[in-house]
Amino acid sequence: WKVWGTGPCSVTCNLGVAPRTVACVQSVRGRESAVHDVECQAAVKPASMVPCLCTASCGYGIQSRAVSCMGPSSPVPLTPLLCMHMPKPITIQGCNRGACAAYTEPAANPTPTPSALTAAAASPSIAVRTVAPPTTEDPLPPATPNTTAAAPSAVQTPRLCGRLLLEESGTVDLRHVGRRCMVAIGRPLDEVIHIQVESAALKCQQGEFVAFFDRLAFVRKCGQLRGVELTTRTNMLLLRQVLLGPGSGVLLSYTSQKNSKTSHHQDCDIQLFSSSGVFENPTTASTNHTCRVLINAPPSVKIQIQA
């Protein structure tokens, strides 16, 4: 399959679609010629309609491009699942083609502009803040008369569930927490996190478990966990534990260390852990990768982004 060209966008502003010519071609001695589509049935045919955005002749606009997962020896796009281990290049980005000509507002009652939008228009940056939804910790059901609940520690401040831990090392005690508890551990981009299970008591047959997620892999475990060790491939780890009753849970210890293996981040990437702030998308002169901003907040909050 070969894409010969893309036609005009269906709209003059906002998101639309554009047609493009896709043909099955055969190359003989360096010369290409169109053949019947049945000759290319073994390959995936590229889409004949692609999304498009209008471009601005001045001021700030939007650029868009199509990104496909490609193999090392075949020009045919592959399933995106084969490229999930690599950062996907940006498909839409802002651009600036210089100041537009002066424009005089008509003498009518203008609509007041919020100060936040005025500030955003003056500087192409993005504001970020965290918003606290309902708590992520579900209380455990009360112990029945035939059940002996383990006594919690005398000091439980601050509450562990829903927190983001940024210390270099520490202990995560999930033995006296709620039914569902999530804890995040964050470190600089050039580090990884090593976890060791010190003790564990989970009722696997009843559905209790502890799970680990590091942006690239999800691991769910139960059973004989004492002494189990795990090392993340990224600088972030999310722990999730599900319990059905009191007296269960795991005790973990963790340390951080420099990443000595293949890194999944670029030198221009930025890691943010703060609860609010303003950032601009990083750029690089290299065309082989795209810079990213990674924002991580405690599991007990949501992230709100405003351009």
The pLDDT tens digits of the residues spanning 49-67 come to 776 655 555 666 666 677 8
Report helix, strand or coil for 223: coil
Range of weakest confidence among 13-22, 104-113, 218-227, 241-250: 104-113
pLDDT for 108 equals: 44
Which contiguous run of DSSP H or E holds residue 118?
Answer: helix 115-122
Report helix, strand or coil for 104: coil
The C-alpha atoms of residue 286 and residue 90 are separated, in whole angstroms, by 13
pLDDT for 9 equals: 72
Quick one: pLDDT band at residue 97, thresholds 50, 70, 90? low
The C-alpha atoms of residue 212 and residue 239 are separated, in whole angstroms, by 5
pLDDT for 281 equals: 75
The C-alpha atoms of residue 47 and residue 51 are separated, in whole angstroms, by 10
Answer whether residue 255 shows pLDDT above 90.
yes
Report helix, strand or coil for 23: strand
- The stretch 40-48 carries a mean pLDDT of 80
Quick one: pLDDT band at residue 260, thresholds 50, 70, 90? confident
Tell which residue, 94, 47, 87, 42, has the closest CA to residue 66. Answer: 47
Pairing of strands 2-6, 164-165: unpaired
Q: What is the mean pLDDT of the chain?
A: 75
127 Cβ contact partners less than 8 Å away, ≥ 6 residues apart: 116, 120, 276, 277, 278, 305, 306, 307
Residue 257, both tokens: 């260390």
Tell which residue, 231, 195, 236, 189, has the closest CA to residue 214. Answer: 236
Answer whether residue 254 shows pLDDT above 80.
yes
More confident residue, 261 or 101: 261
More confident residue, 186 or 139: 186
Name the residue type at position 208.
E
pLDDT for 26 equals: 86
Q: For 136-158, b where at least 16 C-beta lie within 10 A, e where not — what string?
A: bbeebeeeeeeeeeeeeeeeeee
pLDDT in tens, 110-160: 444 333 333 333 334 566 666 555 444 445 444 444 434 444 333 333 588
- The stretch 13-42 carries a mean pLDDT of 80
Report helix, strand or coil for 200: strand
Residue 269, both tokens: 């990437």
Answer whether residue 185 shows pLDDT above 90.
yes
